[in-house]
Structure 1
Amino acid sequence: MLSDSLKKEIRTNYELITQALPQFKARKAQNYLVAEIAKVLAGNYDKSRRILVAEAGTGIGKSLAYILAGLPVALRLNKKLVISTATVTLQEQLISKELPFFLQHSDYKFTFTLAKGRQRYCCEHKLLNLQDNDPEQTLLFTEKPQIGDSELLAKLKNAYLDGKWNGDQDSWPTPIPRRIWQQIISDKHSCKKALANHRQCPFHRARDNINKADVIVVNHALLLADLELGGGVILPDPDACFYVLDEAHHLPKISRDFSSANVNIKTSQDWLKKIKQVSSHVNRVVHRQTTITPGINMLESANEMVNDLKSIELYFRNNPPNYNKSNQYRFSMGEVPQPIVNALISLKEETKKCLSAVNKLSNITSEELKDASIKLSDAEPILIETGFYIQRLENLAALWKMLLKDRATNQAPIAAWVNNENDGFTLCASPLEVGGLLEYMLWSQAAGVILCSATLTSLNSFDYFMRQAGLKNNDGTQYLRLKSPFDYPAISLNVANMKYDPTEKGFDNELIDNIAQRIEDKAGNLVLFASYWQMNLVADKLRRKFPTSLLVQGETSRTKMITTHKKNCDQGLTSILFGTGSLAEGLDLPGHYLTNLMITKLPFAVPDSPVEEAHAEWITSKGGNPFMQITIPEASKKLIQSCGRLIRKEEDTGKITILDKRVITKRYGKSLIDALPPFALNVEK
């Protein structure tokens, strides 16, 4: 329970922090969010399931609230506060701004760090010993060295030795080419803390900092990677953590993408044929009888796998399915063709055997190294090599498992498809629903979880997000919806009087004329499109009228486009941004940088990806309506995000225009409008 002393502590630090914030305005919604986060994490509602889903509108101050409430409860209960985000921008804001400010102005003494995956760090031993190796002879690299690579490697080494570089890929001032980075990257198979030569490697030092830190900032992908390994591998154990999942509306999709797997049939055959080099390499270095059996098993299984892959390749070559425009063919209800099922069953079994054999060879090598029976310089290439094959084999195993999973009638199937590309056939699979996975890995394991975002509801309900995330009303999870403090009724939401809707032939020409007429001179304009092709069509037609004002997404970098736009606005010039859905979220243009927002079409996603098609098929098979159950809730969420571009601060003004009349002519239109903030609705006549 939340004690009186802890409540007083939070109130005291709220005063300290807010007094240090320039132009701070006290908000009831923020105070309420602080209180609810603290109560949930302290176990006031449910001691065994401390989960809060909080939608907090723009301007409430979510990050201040969850640090202010989460940190003292975590410190008091001896838990780590893990803040996970979907974007690098928010990570950087937390690490460089929010947490240092809180540390400086609050009473709390705490440490914080940014956690990254192992692949973002170099291996000190590899870096310092490159002089003994010829990079061109290094095993398993997919790109050939180029002129100048040796000089860059020398610079990296010298900077590291001089203490001017910490071994973090992201902290080097310029991008490090992949062909160079892969020569020095930390990998879990050779860069082990148990080995004396690796104890000071950058990843292990970073891992030590993570263990010592009170607050750890991560991204959703790294959090999922740790949870998939059982937790406590990269980050602390889940039951020792209070998690704050900011930008939580991204979590279901990131989880689904993370759980997907794909295998290129031809490439897999190629590397499996080379696996015999592992056995040869081990036999040259490790002189133990125990390597004989796993070496033989590895080769036999690899040969069987090559034969099975050949039979699958031959099947698709001789029985080409009806590929779509993207050269994809999706298997209905996730059922792969019956003629390849036996080959997949064999692949599943042989992959398991091969993986076990390679793991044994790797473990024997590690044991010999620990016993000082072989030198590190001889063992390390083997550990790197076996690590490469273990990673590839694990990917194969994940795919075969998904493709052959028994189908329960009440559970969603997987999405499964084949791509026909220049490099041959690629088999792919993805789960449709990840709620069960999140329940198993996170909700049931964590000490506490706070999920927050400005958009967690669709059509004024948490139901859609709950289905995606595997949460329920009666499982102990708490739900909170707090509206933004902004003066939305002062903002005009216009629905244009359009003759055609976007499904009709005359819409494109009418859209071009409408946008041209509605551009405001000497102001910041943003026009959001549902597709690149329509954006480019309109841009081509209007470029002559606005030769210097028009800035189109994709024609230059996003950063340069926004910088130019702001410069134009600062100079009092007309500036027009054309963008697609990716600009509808995360784009921050306060004040005069945006006063005129146009939304060309309702943001209906076309279910053209295999996963989306499979999901729609599954819902239809159960008697549901995928348009109402997926498309409309997704459109509601995206429309809220699109309209949210206009008002970023309390003093922001301007107008929004929707150029899609379906928002008033279709039955679903009212629910989309009702889910928006309370703008001043104006239906043009």
Structure 2
Amino acid sequence: MLSPSVKKDIRCSYENLKAQLQNFVPRKAQNYLVAELAKTLAGEYNPKRRILVAEAGTGIGKSMAYLMGSIPFALNNNKKVVISTATVALQEQLIEKDLPLFRRIIPKEFSFVLAKGRQRYCCGEKLAGAASAEGHGQQALFEKKPKKSDIDLVNDMYEAYKKGKWDGDRDAWPKTIPDSVWMSIISDKHTCHSGLHAHRGCPFAKAREFLDKADVVVANHSLLMADLELGGGVILPEPEQALYMIDEAHHLPIVARDFSAASASLIGAASWLEKLNQSASKLANAGDIKRSSRFLDALQTGIQVLIPGLRAVREMLKSLPLNADGIYRFEDGELPESLVNEAKELQKAVKKAHQSQAKMHDLVSERVKDGEISARLADPLLAESAFFLQRMENLEKVWTLMAQPNATKGAPLARWIQQCPERENDLVVHVSPLEIGWRLDQLLWSRAAGVSLMSATLRALNSFSYFCRQVGLDENDGTRFLALPSPFDYQENALLVVPSLPYEPQQDGFTNMLPDVLMEYLEGQTSSLVLFSSYWQMNQVADKMRAQIKKNGWHLHIQGEASRTAILDAHRRCCKEGKVSVLFGTGSFSEGLDLPGNQLTNLIITKIPFAVPTSPVEEAHAEYIERKGGNPFLQISVPEASKKLIQSAGRLLRKEDDSGRVVLLDRRVVTRRYGKALLDALPPFKRVIDHL
């Protein structure tokens, strides 16, 4: 049950919010969401399943709702709140606006911090070494010989770091740091950790101190998955002590799947293994050759199996027929027996080599810690070793997954090879899971103190079923589900038009027809966004329309012709100055684009956003569903299209007093059986559907 103190803190926060905000409008849906979240976290619905899945329509104010529902509960129950987002924009909104506001209105004090992965911080010791006079001997850490400008940049960063004017955060440096420079000073878990005295004051170690003390941690989905894959509680708070507020949750399945995937080249890996073989004796000597000789022997033995093994696999695979994209996918994830045998041998060899190198690395670290060898001598060796250790970890993951037999239950792994873009004679081996729900359940749902998954679009075709399958939840497993509609008056303020047209998008004449149709629906409008299915189609249409648009005195802004920020700023300026402005964009403009008021009153969607399964993972997933007797189009393509269509239509109304029109130029919502379900899943616009 919710304790009286939690209820009191929530009520007090709400009253203070009303007093703080001018023109405050109470929202029933927001209040309901706060209450349902707090009750779910308190275990009132199910003490063993404190999970809430909530679709909260635009305008509800879901970020303030989950802050109000989770932070008072966490502070009163000695828990931490972890907020995970998919976009930098939402992170910035939370850190710069929402959390500072909430801190002003809640009766109890709390602290919050933005969490970043280790790779966003430099290592103080590496930076000092790279900047020192003799430190140009650390050029081994640069993949290429550093330019004078690179050395000057490193020196500038070191001076700023030493004087406390820079905290070692890559994002806080005023100019872009080239990757080649950053990789030479980046913090890594093998050389830059608090176990080594000299590294206890490194930027990431200091950042971890803030993280450990903070009551609320803001992260992104990738960092969340990285922490969970490490066992949880390594970077972020431990799952058992954390309440996870997963915002933009519709992105989580893809992030989780990609995080569990792995890839490595064959000839490229053999090449760096040769370099490791040559430099391994230096590491062994630094770690005391008497103690490390057996690990050196084991490492070199493993490498002597790996290099010819990887080259043999390259010979074995080079005759496979690659498609136009340079890809060959193994059907149903099944490998030929000869490749399975090679994979098993490679997995054993890389595991042995990895463990041996890690032991040698640890011996050097111990000698530094005990003062038997100077950090100045050891750091370059440890940095080089860490570089190889990270590659070795990845190589072990690839060949472990390649050697793993397909499970008798559930989806197989997708496995494919691809022509290496850097080396013509090389192939890259890829492995990816198709379904990630079981892994999320294992790492998160079954361990967390509480979870809320929220987004404006979680349902597909008015159902949570598709999302549940993706993330490993069940509508009957005790999880709480909410679908809260937007407070906007769609009937009064928005119109959905589906015009009568001679062609449907899959027909040859559709693209040629678009310029004339678009001119008709742009006429008389001041601020329009046209969403296309592809860059190719958008550019084809733009080329045919430019002259007419210019002749009309309208301003055309096309995605890709400048940065996203520059294009949107130009559009906003036109709207402010009363000029007619037209935006052309593709799928990425259908989400996260905020154009309130007169910045968008006319939204044209050229086609239902069906994704063609072109990636090997998508093809493998479709193949798996077909093999089980399912229909991949109805089970994957239509639900995905439904979500994307809702997101696209959601660009129109951003505030309660916004108004405008959505024009859908795809007749399939009328002519196909699935069309009605797609239409009914959209917000309740007033409809004008022209029948042929």
Give the shorter-chain TM-score range. over 0.9
Instruction: Select between 651-660 and 180-189 the one with higher mean Cα deviation.
Output: 180-189
Residue 475 of structure 1 corresponds to 477
Deviations 1:538-596 (A, max 9, x none): 01110111136111111111000000000111111111111111000000000100000
Matching of residue 525 in structure 1 with residue 524 in structure 2: no
Q: For residues 10-409 of structure 1, what are the structure 2 equivalents within 5 Å?
A: 10-129=10-129, 130-135=131-136, 137-317=138-318, 319-321=319-321, 323-409=322-408
Structure 1 Cα separation of the partners of residues 534 and 136 of structure 2: 45
Is this contact kept in 1: 2:5–2:76, CA < 8 A?
Answer: no
Aligned to 2:546: 543
CA displacement, residues 202-232 of structure 1 (integer Å, 9 cap, x when unaligned): 1111100000000100001001100100011
TM superposition shift of 1:631: 0.3
**Partner of residue 603 from structure 1, selected from 602, 606, 609:** 609
Contact 2:526 2:581 in 1 (8 A): yes
CA displacement at 1:196 relative to structure 2: 1.8
- For residue 545 of structure 1, what is the amino acid of its counterpart? Q
Could you list the structure 1 runs, at least 4 aligned residues long, displaced by more than 4 angstroms after superposition: none
The percent identity for this pair of structures is 51
Match of 1:582 among 563, 588, 591: 588
Greater shift, 667-676 or 413-422, is seen at 413-422
User: How far 1:151 moved relative to its partner?
Assistant: 1.8
Kept after mapping to 2: 8 A contact 1:136/1:144: no
Instruction: Compare 16-25 and 657-666 and name the one that shifted more.
Output: 16-25
Q: Alignment partner of 2:549: what SS? A: coil
Residues in 1 aligned to 2:525 and 2:253: alpha-carbon distance in whole angstroms:
41
**Residue 516 (1) aligns with residue 519 (2):** yes
The answer to whether the Cα contact below 8 Å between 2:591 and 2:651 also exists between their aligned partners in 1 is: yes
Q: Aligned partner of 2:429: which letter?
A: L
Q: Work out the CA distance in 2 between the residues paired with 1:383 and 1:17.
A: 52
CA deviations over 1:446-492 (Å, ceiling 9, x no partner): 11111100000000000000000000123221111100000111211
User: In the TM superposition, what whole-angstrom CA distance separates every residue of 1:489-510 from its partner, at most 9, and x where no partner exists?
Assistant: 1211000111111111221122
Q: Which sits farther off after the overlay, 95-104 or 617-626? A: 95-104
Whole-angstrom distance in 2 between the partners of 1:120 and 1:54: 32
Distance in 2 between residues matched to 1:359 and 1:65, nearest whole Å: 46
- Matches of 1:561 and 1:520 in 2, distance apart? 21
Work out whether 1:684 is the aligned partner of 2:690: yes
SS of the aligned residue for 1:81 comes to strand
Q: Which moved more, 1:66-75 or 1:368-377?
A: 368-377
Q: Secondary structure, in 3 states, of the residue corresponding to 2:391?
A: helix
Counterpart of 2:413 in structure 1 is 414
Q: Distance in 2 between matches of 1:112 and 1:143?
A: 40
In structure 2, relative to structure 1, the CA distance for the partners of 1:640 and 1:136 (3 Å cut) is farther
| Whole-angstrom distance in 2 between the partners of 1:566 and 1:521 | 18
Question: TM-score, normalised on structure 1?
Answer: 0.98
Aligned to 2:658: 652
The offset of 1:521, in angstroms, is: 4.2
Q: Distance in 2 between matches of 1:188 and 1:448?
A: 29
Conservation of the 8 A alpha-carbon contact between 1:521 and 1:573: no
CA distance in 1, matches of 2:225, 2:81: 16
Q: Deviations over 1:631-685 (max 9, x none)?
A: 0000000000000000000010110000010010101000000011110111124
Query: Counterparts of 1:14 and 1:338 in 2: how far apart (Å)?
Result: 64
Q: Structure 1 unaligned runs (5+)?
A: none
Residues 249 and 454 of structure 2 are in contact (CA less than 8 Å); yes or no, is this contact kept in structure 1? yes
Instruction: Give deviations 1:182-213, integer Å, cap 9, x for gaps.
Output: 22211111112122211111111110000000
Q: What does the per-residue CA deviation read over 1:230-257, in whole Å, with 9 as the maximum and x for residues that have no partner?
A: 0111111111111100000000000011
Matched, 1:618 2:652: no
Which digits, 9 at most, give the CA deviation of each residue in 1:132-169, with x for residues without a partner?
A: 44446433432431231222112111212222211111
The SS at the match of 1:236 is coil
CA contact (8 A) 1:498 1:510 kept: no
DSSP-derived class of the 1:145 partner? coil
Q: Letter of the aligned partner of 1:263 in structure 2?
A: A
Bigger drift between 102-111 and 351-360 goes to 102-111
CA distance in 2, matches of 1:284, 1:421: 36
After TM superposition, give the deviation of residue 398 of structure 1 in Å.
1.2
TM-score, normalization by structure 2 = 0.97
> Structure 2 stretches of 5 or more lacking a match?
none
Inter-partner Cα distance in structure 1 for 2:293 and 2:154: 38
* Corresponding residue for residue 434 of structure 2: 432
On the 8 A contact 2:13/2:68 being kept in 1, the answer is yes
Within 1, Cα distance between the matches of 2:204 and 2:197? 14
* 1: CA distance, partners of 2:18 / 2:396: 53
2:508 maps to which residue? 505
